[in-house]
Amino acid sequence: MIPSLGISLNASEKNIERSLVEVRAKYATDDDAQLVAAFIKGDGDAFAALVDRHMPMVYKFTYRYVGNADAANDIVQDVFIKVWKNIKKFDRTKNFKTWLLTIAKNTALDALKKKKAVLFSKIEEGDADLDTFLAPFVETPDLPDEVLQRKETKADLEHVLAELSPSYRSVLLLRYTEHLKFREIADALQEPIDTIKSKHRRALIQLRKLLAEAPKSAGDSYH
Protein backbone atom coordinates (compact mmCIF):
# COMPACT_ATOMS: atom_id res chain seq x y z
CA MET A 1 0.00 0.00 0.00
CA ILE A 2 1.32 3.43 -0.89
CA PRO A 3 1.83 5.56 2.23
CA SER A 4 -0.73 8.27 2.66
CA LEU A 5 0.06 11.87 1.81
CA GLY A 6 -2.78 12.95 4.00
CA ILE A 7 -4.00 15.71 1.79
CA SER A 8 -7.39 17.02 2.70
CA LEU A 9 -9.37 17.90 -0.38
CA ASN A 10 -10.60 20.98 1.43
CA ALA A 11 -7.05 22.23 1.63
CA SER A 12 -6.62 25.39 -0.37
CA GLU A 13 -3.42 26.11 -2.28
CA LYS A 14 -2.66 28.78 0.34
CA ASN A 15 -2.84 26.25 3.15
CA ILE A 16 -0.60 23.93 1.23
CA GLU A 17 1.84 26.74 0.51
CA ARG A 18 2.04 27.51 4.24
CA SER A 19 2.56 23.83 5.03
CA LEU A 20 5.26 23.59 2.37
CA VAL A 21 7.29 26.29 4.10
CA GLU A 22 7.20 24.20 7.29
CA VAL A 23 8.05 21.01 5.39
CA ARG A 24 11.00 22.71 3.68
CA ALA A 25 12.43 23.74 7.04
CA LYS A 26 11.72 20.36 8.66
CA TYR A 27 13.59 18.33 6.02
CA ALA A 28 16.27 20.82 5.01
CA THR A 29 19.11 18.59 6.19
CA ASP A 30 17.71 15.24 4.98
CA ASP A 31 18.98 13.77 1.73
CA ASP A 32 16.69 12.20 -0.88
CA ALA A 33 17.24 8.61 0.30
CA GLN A 34 16.24 9.59 3.83
CA LEU A 35 13.11 11.32 2.54
CA VAL A 36 12.14 8.27 0.47
CA ALA A 37 12.67 6.01 3.49
CA ALA A 38 10.60 8.32 5.68
CA PHE A 39 7.77 8.38 3.15
CA ILE A 40 7.72 4.60 2.82
CA LYS A 41 7.47 4.39 6.60
CA GLY A 42 4.33 6.51 6.36
CA ASP A 43 5.53 10.10 6.68
CA GLY A 44 3.52 11.94 4.02
CA ASP A 45 5.37 15.21 4.61
CA ALA A 46 8.58 13.61 3.35
CA PHE A 47 7.02 13.09 -0.08
CA ALA A 48 5.88 16.71 -0.19
CA ALA A 49 9.47 17.70 0.59
CA LEU A 50 10.70 15.57 -2.32
CA VAL A 51 8.22 17.17 -4.72
CA ASP A 52 9.10 20.62 -3.46
CA ARG A 53 12.84 19.97 -3.81
CA HIS A 54 12.87 18.46 -7.31
CA MET A 55 9.88 19.99 -9.10
CA PRO A 56 11.82 22.95 -10.62
CA MET A 57 14.52 20.65 -12.01
CA VAL A 58 11.93 18.28 -13.50
CA TYR A 59 9.99 21.22 -14.94
CA LYS A 60 13.10 22.71 -16.56
CA PHE A 61 14.04 19.37 -18.06
CA THR A 62 10.56 18.58 -19.44
CA TYR A 63 10.06 22.12 -20.68
CA ARG A 64 13.27 21.90 -22.69
CA TYR A 65 12.39 18.38 -23.83
CA VAL A 66 8.91 19.17 -25.17
CA GLY A 67 9.45 22.89 -25.78
CA ASN A 68 6.04 23.86 -24.50
CA ALA A 69 5.08 25.30 -21.11
CA ASP A 70 1.54 23.86 -20.96
CA ALA A 71 2.69 20.38 -21.93
CA ALA A 72 5.57 20.58 -19.42
CA ASN A 73 3.07 21.57 -16.73
CA ASP A 74 0.97 18.44 -17.36
CA ILE A 75 3.98 16.18 -17.74
CA VAL A 76 5.51 17.30 -14.44
CA GLN A 77 2.25 16.45 -12.65
CA ASP A 78 2.17 13.02 -14.29
CA VAL A 79 5.83 12.45 -13.40
CA PHE A 80 5.23 13.00 -9.69
CA ILE A 81 2.08 10.86 -9.71
CA LYS A 82 4.19 8.06 -11.22
CA VAL A 83 6.87 8.65 -8.60
CA TRP A 84 4.24 8.46 -5.84
CA LYS A 85 2.83 5.22 -7.25
CA ASN A 86 6.20 3.55 -7.81
CA ILE A 87 8.32 4.88 -4.98
CA LYS A 88 8.48 1.48 -3.31
CA LYS A 89 10.22 0.13 -6.39
CA PHE A 90 12.96 2.76 -6.14
CA ASP A 91 16.34 1.23 -5.30
CA ARG A 92 17.57 3.43 -2.47
CA THR A 93 21.18 2.65 -3.18
CA LYS A 94 20.80 4.58 -6.44
CA ASN A 95 20.49 8.29 -7.09
CA PHE A 96 16.92 9.57 -6.69
CA LYS A 97 17.49 12.48 -9.06
CA THR A 98 18.57 10.09 -11.82
CA TRP A 99 15.53 7.88 -11.24
CA LEU A 100 13.28 10.94 -11.35
CA LEU A 101 14.84 12.12 -14.61
CA THR A 102 14.30 8.65 -16.12
CA ILE A 103 10.59 8.89 -15.33
CA ALA A 104 10.50 12.49 -16.61
CA LYS A 105 12.19 11.54 -19.88
CA ASN A 106 9.87 8.56 -20.45
CA THR A 107 6.76 10.57 -19.62
CA ALA A 108 7.86 13.43 -21.88
CA LEU A 109 8.62 10.99 -24.67
CA ASP A 110 5.17 9.38 -24.30
CA ALA A 111 3.58 12.82 -24.44
CA LEU A 112 5.50 13.68 -27.59
CA LYS A 113 4.51 10.40 -29.22
CA LYS A 114 0.87 10.90 -28.25
CA LYS A 115 0.71 14.39 -29.68
CA LYS A 116 2.81 13.33 -32.66
CA ALA A 117 4.52 16.69 -32.33
CA VAL A 118 7.78 15.11 -33.42
CA LEU A 119 8.25 12.22 -35.77
CA PHE A 120 9.33 9.09 -33.96
CA SER A 121 12.34 8.83 -36.25
CA LYS A 122 13.42 12.28 -35.06
CA ILE A 123 12.94 11.35 -31.39
CA GLU A 124 15.14 8.33 -31.87
CA GLU A 125 17.59 10.11 -34.13
CA GLY A 126 21.13 9.12 -33.39
CA ASP A 127 20.19 5.85 -31.74
CA ALA A 128 21.74 3.77 -34.47
CA ASP A 129 25.12 4.52 -32.94
CA LEU A 130 27.31 3.17 -35.67
CA ASP A 131 30.20 5.00 -34.06
CA THR A 132 29.44 3.99 -30.46
CA PHE A 133 32.60 1.95 -30.35
CA LEU A 134 34.67 4.92 -31.44
CA ALA A 135 32.96 7.44 -29.15
CA PRO A 136 35.27 7.11 -26.15
CA PHE A 137 38.29 7.71 -28.37
CA VAL A 138 37.02 10.71 -30.28
CA GLU A 139 37.44 14.13 -28.73
CA THR A 140 34.49 16.41 -28.13
CA PRO A 141 34.41 19.21 -30.68
CA ASP A 142 35.37 22.52 -29.09
CA LEU A 143 33.26 25.62 -29.34
CA PRO A 144 35.57 28.31 -30.69
CA ASP A 145 35.89 31.45 -28.55
CA GLU A 146 34.76 33.70 -31.39
CA VAL A 147 31.49 31.74 -31.69
CA LEU A 148 30.91 32.06 -27.94
CA GLN A 149 31.69 35.80 -27.95
CA ARG A 150 29.11 36.58 -30.60
CA LYS A 151 25.98 38.11 -29.14
CA GLU A 152 23.82 36.13 -31.56
CA THR A 153 25.18 32.84 -30.31
CA LYS A 154 23.64 33.28 -26.87
CA ALA A 155 20.45 34.69 -28.32
CA ASP A 156 20.11 31.80 -30.76
CA LEU A 157 20.90 29.01 -28.33
CA GLU A 158 17.27 28.48 -27.34
CA HIS A 159 16.16 28.41 -30.96
CA VAL A 160 18.99 26.09 -31.95
CA LEU A 161 18.32 23.73 -29.05
CA ALA A 162 14.71 23.44 -30.16
CA GLU A 163 15.94 22.27 -33.54
CA LEU A 164 17.92 19.40 -32.07
CA SER A 165 16.22 16.06 -31.62
CA PRO A 166 14.78 15.53 -28.09
CA SER A 167 17.31 12.76 -27.64
CA TYR A 168 20.32 15.03 -28.33
CA ARG A 169 18.72 17.94 -26.48
CA SER A 170 18.23 15.92 -23.31
CA VAL A 171 21.87 14.76 -23.29
CA LEU A 172 23.15 18.33 -23.64
CA LEU A 173 20.76 19.73 -21.06
CA LEU A 174 21.53 17.06 -18.49
CA ARG A 175 25.24 17.55 -19.10
CA TYR A 176 25.42 21.35 -19.15
CA THR A 177 22.44 22.60 -17.17
CA GLU A 178 22.05 19.81 -14.60
CA HIS A 179 25.81 19.11 -14.58
CA LEU A 180 25.36 15.33 -14.56
CA LYS A 181 28.23 12.96 -15.31
CA PHE A 182 27.99 10.69 -18.36
CA ARG A 183 27.31 7.72 -16.08
CA GLU A 184 24.39 9.57 -14.44
CA ILE A 185 23.00 10.65 -17.83
CA ALA A 186 23.25 7.04 -19.02
CA ASP A 187 21.32 5.92 -15.92
CA ALA A 188 18.70 8.62 -16.33
CA LEU A 189 18.13 7.97 -20.03
CA GLN A 190 18.55 4.21 -19.62
CA GLU A 191 21.11 3.93 -22.36
CA PRO A 192 24.69 2.60 -22.43
CA ILE A 193 27.33 5.12 -21.44
CA ASP A 194 29.07 4.85 -24.81
CA THR A 195 25.82 5.66 -26.58
CA ILE A 196 25.48 8.74 -24.39
CA LYS A 197 29.05 9.82 -25.13
CA SER A 198 28.42 9.29 -28.82
CA LYS A 199 25.18 11.27 -28.71
CA HIS A 200 26.87 14.00 -26.73
CA ARG A 201 29.59 14.37 -29.32
CA ARG A 202 27.19 14.34 -32.26
CA ALA A 203 24.84 16.75 -30.49
CA LEU A 204 27.74 19.17 -29.99
CA ILE A 205 28.73 18.89 -33.65
CA GLN A 206 25.16 19.61 -34.68
CA LEU A 207 24.83 22.42 -32.16
CA ARG A 208 28.03 24.07 -33.37
CA LYS A 209 26.90 23.76 -36.97
CA LEU A 210 23.47 25.23 -36.22
CA LEU A 211 25.00 28.07 -34.19
CA ALA A 212 27.33 28.90 -37.08
CA GLU A 213 24.37 29.00 -39.45
CA ALA A 214 22.04 30.77 -37.02
CA PRO A 215 22.80 34.46 -37.78
CA LYS A 216 22.38 33.81 -41.50
CA SER A 217 19.13 31.93 -41.10
CA ALA A 218 17.82 34.50 -38.59
CA GLY A 219 18.65 37.22 -41.14
CA ASP A 220 16.91 35.26 -43.89
CA SER A 221 13.78 34.91 -41.86
CA TYR A 222 13.28 38.70 -41.78
CA HIS A 223 12.95 38.85 -45.55
Judged by the rule CB under 8 A, the positions of this chain that interact with other proteins are 2-13, 15-17, 19-20, 23, 42-45, 47-48, 51-52, 55-56, 59-60, 63-64, 69, 72-73, 76-77, 80-81, 84, 140, 142-145, 147-148, 153-154, 157-158, 161, 172-173, 175-177, 204
User: What type of residue is 76?
Assistant: V
- Quick count: other Cβ atoms within 10 Å of Cβ 154? 11
Minimum CB distance to other proteins smaller for 12 or for 93: 12
Q: Which is nearer to other proteins, 42 or 128 (CB)?
A: 42
What single-letter amino acid sits at 171?
A: V
If the CB atoms of residues 90 and 124 are measured against other proteins, the closer one turns out to be: 90
- Cβ 116 to other proteins, closest distance in Å? 23
Least gap, CB of 6 to other proteins (angstroms) = 3
The nearest distance, CB 201 to other proteins, in angstroms, is 11
* Residue 156 or 187 having the CB closest to other proteins: 156
Distance CA 64, CA 72 (A): 8
| DSSP conformation letters of 139-192 | PPPP--HHHHHSHHHHHHHHHHHHHS-HHHHHHHHHHHTS---HHHHHHHHTS-
Q: What are phi and psi of 118, to 5 degrees?
A: -130, 140
